[in-house]
Amino acid sequence: MRIAEFLSPEAVIADMQSRTKPEVLRELSVTLVRAHPQLQEERLVEVLKEREKLGSTGIGEGVAIPHGKLSGMTQLQAAFGVSRAGVDFEAIDGKPTHLFFALVAPENSAGVHLKALARISRLFKNPRFRASILEAPTAADIHALIIQEDARP
């Protein structure tokens, strides 16, 4: 599985405007709907909020992977956003979060969902990669960096 299979260039935000966790979830949902019009914004926001109630998806090092499952979906979809200012996302390390990878999977897709989460988590463990994303000026540049890094063996 490659990230290119579920992250389209249209679903990348180079400079998020959100300042709070709920705003981040909304902005990522709006972007997902823009890239995939068959999705419903309110349902996406609710699914992501419900998952956050179980515990923050802020994994530390400035990265969060809000995620959830949605009935009626046929395949995994994602949105990615960069917050230059950083947001208090209640990350496990207590630091501001800058990189947000929202992942929404079909309701009965545990294996695919978990593989995608693991792949994203592994990719964003690399400090040089995280820095390159923060330095990238456009959504197209960010998308290209993610796809390029994900293609490495």
67 as an active site residue: the answer is: yes
Q: How confident is the model at residue 109 (pLDDT cuts 50, 70, 90)?
A: confident
pLDDT tens for 34-61 read 999 989 999 999 999 999 999 999 999 9
Q: What is the CATH number of domain 3-151?
A: 3.40.930.10
Active-site residue, from 36, 67, 113, 143: 67
Q: How confident is the model at residue 113 (pLDDT cuts 50, 70, 90)?
A: confident
Burial of 137 (0-12, 13-18, 19+ CB in 10 A): exposed
pLDDT at position 54, please?
Answer: 95
Write down the residue that tokens 């009935």 correspond to.
71
